[in-house]
Structure 1
Amino acid sequence: MKKHLLLLSAAAAALLAEEATLAPVSVVATGVEESVVEQPEAIAIKEKPEIELDQVVFQKDLFNSLPGVRIEQTGSVFGHMTAIRMPINTGPYYLFMQDGIPVQSSGFFNHNGLAYTTFGTAESVEVLKGAGTALYGSDAVAAVIDVHSTPAPSEKRTFLFKGTGGMYGYGSGLLEASGPAGEEGGYFANVHYLHSDGWRDHTQADRLEANGRYDLAIGDANALKIILNASKTEAQQADSFNDYANITDRSKAASDDPNYFKALEYVDVKRKFDYARLSLEWSNFSFENLDIVTTPYLRYNRNRYIATWQPNLPANDNELTTLGLLQRNTYQADWGRVIFGFDTEYTRSSLTYDQKFDIQTSGWSAAYYQAGTIYDYDVDYFAIAPYAHLEWNMSDKVVFSAGLRYDYNKFDYTNNLEDDSYYYALTSKGQKAIYYRPGDRTDSFNHVSPKASLSFMPDATTNLYIRYANGFRIPQASRLYSMKAGYETVTLDPETSDTYEIGLKKFFARHTFVDLAAYYMNIDDTITRYKNDNGDYYYANGGSSIHEGVEVGAGYAFNPSWRFKIAYAYGYHRYDNDPKYGDNEMAQAPNHTGNIRLFWTPWQFPGFELMAEYIYVGSWWFDDDHEAGKYKGYQLGNLKASYRYDDHLKLFAKIDNVTDNEYAVMARYAYGKTDYTPGDPALAYLGVEYRW
């Protein structure tokens, strides 16, 4: 299948956009660009024009207008938690990717994974909801999230500067360049820096993002795409509040816990993310009807933080280096197509978990912790997964798809402290073992994931589909080897999930569409956090959990000047015969979430666009026991505007939380107390962009 460099150029990208006038183009499901209507999965997409109007500062700005997608920022500014077809949580139920490549290894999930991506300058984003297709393995249980970092290089040399200022010492700057490089190549590069003093005490943050891309055509049969992504974040960590009066009074304090301020006497409580990835995508079209894409990559992650949610405030430092390879082949035939290949990774991880200072905790399980090393271990991780995805055109209107994936994952753990030893704290009853350090060992897991779907497309703009997908997630290295005392013999098995989905997609025009999906997902052997009689928390495989709901995405253009979009989701998440929680509805899982956007582009004022946004998050349980009651949820309004004066100059501004509501984005009951993470007050931003 011969192809030319035009497929890599901006001109080709424009042609592709013109062909997809009604529906946006997606790549996340199969790795191949095609209209989102044709794909029998619930896929939410946000493209560059809307992203620019959102004026992204945090991850929530990028994602929370998509149906059934909820991102909430934590006290570490760019730290976040995710809720997609699940309660908001820190578990590895989401596969975070950038440009089709995972940003972290499956065995080392960081719930702040979007902080590794260069989300602040994203070109577009895609969210595949439910278990992933055959292209994705562990962690692709509830969603696959892909951040696209760069556009194709431009045909002529262009430069861009963008600067933004805001309240509480916020400022950011973006420099961007793109153009041809020789007769058959092109480049794109940008760098983005931001600083914020934060509206709360001890929430100052600095973040740097950089992206580079180089495309090269080698004859008619080969194309290379080299991408470099890097991000570096250093942010002070504020704590949550225990007293809700601090939310309603809009307290700017970093915490109301004396132990937090005790920690500040010894260490500056910060979270630091470091990330870099270099990839080389080689596409070969030498064979008729067969595209061969091979992508080796090198990745570096480092995650450092003070565990403010732990009473003794330990310090974590986890450093990972990964060598990976994605190999994908697409064979096209008259009857359909087959996509097959394999993924493999080798990761070297080093983790230290230190008590940096002596501390006397109070309240539940009060104890005296002495400075020292709690954990120090290395893990060599290997994963390999062959897969196949088949699409059969049963008729001109019916397509059957099936997929199969086999995953093998292996951990080789080395303890750098004394084997089978403990870290002790002093309590009123004497010395007590708190943490356990297992001896060297090897753990391996394997899983087969089947997938199937059926699409009925009466025309090119309509798809009624049903889908089944099996998913799984392996235990994380931290759950396997960072063990609590008293649970030395506890072993963890992978969680497995089954997603059943029915959906309807209908696109009437570019901004007029309906996208409906109803799902049922059960997760077996759910790795659940339990509390023992002493008040200590531990993890073990529990029973099952059931997640079901409906997602609605719709848009309507009243006329060329007025249009709206709505994103709504209903979800019900509960345990199923859990040994402790029975059939209780799960905590931190609002039944209703919604986002409504009204866009105005007046013909009397060319280049101007205004967007009014309404956000609704319903109530949720504080705890799985249902002993602490429910939090009421919250509602917000935002205003965002941009004005393009000419081809060179654009102005933009936004106000988040225009009514200055006081609310908590997260509220839970844990460690014998209620925690509230405050939401942002009214925040205003103003910026300018100049292109030449």
Structure 2
Amino acid sequence: MLCFVGSSMVSAQSIDETNLESIENVVVTTSRLSNDTARLRDNLVQVDEETIQFVAPSHTQSLLNYVAGAGVQRGNGQEYLPALRSPVLTGASACGGILSAEDGIPLKAAGLCNINELFEAHSEMAERIEVVKGPASVLFGANAIHGVINVITPDTTVDGGLLGIDYGSYGYHRAKLRAGKDYGDTGVGINTSLTRDTGYRDGEGVDQQKVNVRHRYSGSDMLVTTGLSYTNLNQDTAGYITGKDSYKDRQIAQQNFDPLAFRDASSFRLWSRLEWQVSDDKFLSLTPYIRDQDMTFRMHFLPGTPFEENSQSGGGLLSQFRVEMSHNTVFDWGIDAEYSKGSLLQYQEGATLGSAFLVETVPSGKHYDYDVDVNMIAPFFALQWTQGPWQLDLGGRYERITYDYTNNMLSGRTREDGTECGFGGCRYSRPESGKNSFNAFSPKISLGYITSEGTHWFARVSRGYRAPQASELYRLQREQQVTELDTVTGNNIEIGVDGRLSNIDYTLAIYRLLKENVIYRDSDFFNINGGETLHKGVELSFDYQISADWRLQFAGTLAEHTYQHSQVLGDTDIRGNDMDTAPKTQFNTRLQYQVTANSHAELEWQHVSSYYTNAENTARYDGHDLVHLRLAHMLGDDWIVNLRINNLLDTDYAERADYTNFTGDRYFPGRPRNFMASVTYRY
């Protein structure tokens, strides 16, 4: 059930009426109809446009900090690892736990996700960012076990726009443009940003360009909205630094020990949403789309630092048909379908550096070279019934995903030319060409009740799922020649309440998610099913209007993420251990002060508690606290000037802490105190 969202930042909105009929209509991800009059159905939080422009994020992580339960960790440049009601997710399956989308369309094809895919969304210039917490598979399908992050681009088909410049420390600068024209029944507009960041660390840098183009046509009973998104990233990447607490040494933290690492990526998406009012009580939405993406990068985190080239192209259709069966009953159904063709090439130039074992088992030349065609089809339904203060939601989705895999190299764990590696064989193994298919059904039921005082109680039971990713099926290691993987599932129970107490809007939620059939790599380096993890936590968000000039906002979580299956790593059975990179406590607090009618200030405190960095729970990061200061001043009705001081107290911290048996403790160091100034003109 939904946590209602309102205000100018991220907060819960109380319900002032005793009947659901009075709830204000809001456009959200949980429907594909822009004029949706249905009730909100999911545990949704929004980061709105005012917040986005005030923060002027150089990375999406800065905005997701405002969502209780989110703990995204930034790597270097635009890289990151996701977390949403979960530990920080890593490995081949990490991107399969949280679905990333722009304007409701997944950024990547099911089965072909990429851990850094969210940098393809235009979050810097978004209208809002919507986060659905917990399984959302009824509408979104596979990969939405822990939730959905959906970036909504602005409607630029109306008159007006903006021009803006951001300028900051370490060579950061960004130009922003938004312009639109309304011609009545039609409209057209553009939303674009150009970014250059030379970076804090030696030899790092980001050049990034993003653009959204939109067209609108409206008739008497039809609305057609067409959008085009294009992004391009050229990044010089600084990798991990190693050594216990090395992030505290400014000289080490600033160094780049892999100056040849890079990432080049481009993406293109074109979609058109067609909406018809078929009759007074029937509505139809069809959204065909195509996407094309390419990426090349150096895998600086692997022995031998090989290169990877991957691409995918294809398209699909999202549909939704709504029947308002009565004044209190709404039925939705639809069929989603998608076809994508993906390819992956991993190769290494030159010999591996390191031990004799690594030199021999990680050879130069090609490691993987394959193509895979992915087909997906998924019918779904959702029924909503309201009666007085009660609301009941039922839904379900059946999804079938099929892979047609072609290996373009010799099968097995040999070198590219077929010769054997020493020490038992090469690290990388390539299965024979073949086909795999996976089926899953995800149901959901939720119940809500609004008291006479406007307090909203909710409870939900839902299931999420994901098929094995292509990288889990076809990028094998050691002696494994074939996988027999199955669908990963997550069963979620959640209860909560939101409402208003005096001047405080609040949301409190308690959840328990059990993931079964989890895919992991065993001691033989085989990808297998059989893992089980438990995720449970308490989330609290509130917005307290202390006085006319003072306001306090809070979003925090107390969570526990543990391994529930037996697996011996070294001499340790990890069953019952905390999952690695899973802080128990994270919160964000913002104190805002309206200095004058045209000026306001904000002090932000971001807390991340200590956490283990390995599954054996023998290595730990101490956590950190960061403070940021932001000021904004309006010059007349059209000009806005902003000043931001990030890491105000100049704290030494790690954006990400990790541990491996090969390197020991390793980190992506955070930036010292830095500044950004912005000037924006609205017209």
Alignment TM-score, normalising by the size of structure 2? 0.91
**Cross-structure match for 1:164:** 166
**Cross-structure match for 1:435:** 428
- Residues 389-441 of structure 1: CA distance to partner in whole angstroms, max 9, x if unpaired? 00112x21111111010000000001111234523899996573221111110
**Cross-structure match for 2:154:** 150
2:476 partner letter: M
* Number of positions where the alignment pairs a residue of Structure 1 with one of Structure 2: 653
- Residues 54-92 of structure 1: CA distance to partner in whole angstroms, max 9, x if unpaired? 1111111221111111222112x1011111111101311
State the distance in 2 between where 1:403 and 1:471 align: 12
Q: In the alignment, which of 623, 631, 646 is matched to residue 636 of structure 2? A: 646
State the distance in 1 between where 2:458 and 2:37 align: 13
State the distance in 1 between where 2:355 and 2:283 align: 62
Shift of 1:514: 0.5
**Cross-structure match for 1:284:** 276
Q: How does 1:624-635 map to 2 (within 5 A)?
A: 624-626=615-617, 628-635=618-625
Native 8 Å contact 2:412 2:429 kept in 1: yes
User: Secondary structure at 2:52's aligned position in 1?
Assistant: helix
State the distance in 2 between where 1:517 and 1:439 align: 47
Question: Structure 1 22/40 Cα, relative in aligned 2: closer, same or farther at 3 Å?
Answer: closer
**Cross-structure match for 1:190:** 191
Native 8 Å contact 1:525 1:541 kept in 2: yes
Shift of 1:53: 1.1
Matched, 1:612 2:603: yes
State the distance in 1 between where 2:357 and 2:252 align: 26
1:618 partner letter: S
Native 8 Å contact 1:133 1:403 kept in 2: no
Q: In the alignment, which of 506, 513, 521 is matched to residue 505 of structure 2? A: 513
Q: In the alignment, which of 672, 676, 686 is matched to residue 677 of structure 2? A: 686
User: Secondary structure at 2:302's aligned position in 1?
Assistant: coil
2:134 partner letter: G
- Residues 103-132 of structure 1: CA distance to partner in whole angstroms, max 9, x if unpaired? 111201111121111111111011110000
**Cross-structure match for 1:9:** none
1:25 partner letter: V
User: Secondary structure at 1:135's aligned position in 2?
Assistant: helix
**Cross-structure match for 1:83:** 83
State the distance in 1 between where 2:264 and 2:127 align: 25
1:442 partner letter: K
User: Secondary structure at 1:647's aligned position in 2?
Assistant: coil
Matched, 1:55 2:46: no
Aligned-pair identity in percent equals: 26
Matched, 1:349 2:339: no
User: Secondary structure at 2:230's aligned position in 1?
Assistant: strand
State the distance in 2 between where 1:430 and 1:270 align: 31
Matched, 1:504 2:504: no
State the distance in 1 between where 2:634 and 2:130 align: 26
**Cross-structure match for 1:310:** 302
Shift of 1:664: 1.2
Shift of 1:381: 0.4
Shift of 1:370: 4.0
User: Secondary structure at 1:349's aligned position in 2?
Assistant: strand
Native 8 Å contact 1:480 1:492 kept in 2: yes
State the distance in 2 between where 1:512 and 1:215 align: 39
Matched, 1:248 2:238: no
State the distance in 2 between where 1:152 and 1:245 align: 47
State the distance in 2 between where 1:429 and 1:351 align: 26
**Cross-structure match for 1:231:** 231
Question: Structure 1 254/599 Cα, relative in aligned 2: closer, same or farther at 3 Å?
Answer: closer
State the distance in 2 between where 1:429 and 1:437 align: 17
**Cross-structure match for 1:132:** 136
2:610 partner letter: S
- Per mean C-alpha deviation after superposition, the further-off stretch among 319-328 and 480-489 is 480-489
State the distance in 2 between where 1:349 and 1:679 align: 34
Alignment TM-score, normalising by the size of structure 1? 0.90
Question: Structure 1 38/512 Cα, relative in aligned 2: closer, same or farther at 3 Å?
Answer: farther
Matched, 1:661 2:665: no
User: Secondary structure at 1:128's aligned position in 2?
Assistant: strand
Task: Report the aligned-residue RMSD.
Answer: 2.6
Question: Structure 1 518/23 Cα, relative in aligned 2: closer, same or farther at 3 Å?
Answer: farther
**Cross-structure match for 1:539:** 527
Matched, 1:386 2:379: yes
Q: In the alignment, which of 345, 358, 361 is matched to residue 351 of structure 2? A: 358
**Cross-structure match for 1:114:** 118
User: Secondary structure at 1:84's aligned position in 2?
Assistant: coil
State the distance in 2 between where 1:79 and 1:461 align: 42
Shift of 1:650: 1.0
**Cross-structure match for 1:15:** none
- Per mean C-alpha deviation after superposition, the further-off stretch among 172-181 and 384-393 is 172-181
User: Secondary structure at 1:359's aligned position in 2?
Assistant: coil
1:345 partner letter: E
Shift of 1:337: 0.5
**Cross-structure match for 2:9:** none
User: Secondary structure at 2:68's aligned position in 1?
Assistant: coil
Question: Structure 1 567/496 Cα, relative in aligned 2: closer, same or farther at 3 Å?
Answer: same
Matched, 1:457 2:458: no
**Cross-structure match for 1:103:** 107
- Residues 624-675 of structure 1: CA distance to partner in whole angstroms, max 9, x if unpaired? 112x332111100001121111122111110110011001122222243222
Q: In the alignment, which of 662, 668, 679 is matched to residue 677 of structure 1? A: 668
Native 8 Å contact 1:551 1:568 kept in 2: yes
Question: Structure 1 25/611 Cα, relative in aligned 2: closer, same or farther at 3 Å?
Answer: farther
Question: Structure 1 21/309 Cα, relative in aligned 2: closer, same or farther at 3 Å?
Answer: farther
- Residues 172-228 of structure 1: CA distance to partner in whole angstroms, max 9, x if unpaired? 1012211213x311122122101011000121110101011111112x111100111
**Cross-structure match for 2:11:** none
- Residues 450-493 of structure 1: CA distance to partner in whole angstroms, max 9, x if unpaired? 11011102259532111011111111101111111212244221
**Cross-structure match for 1:488:** 481
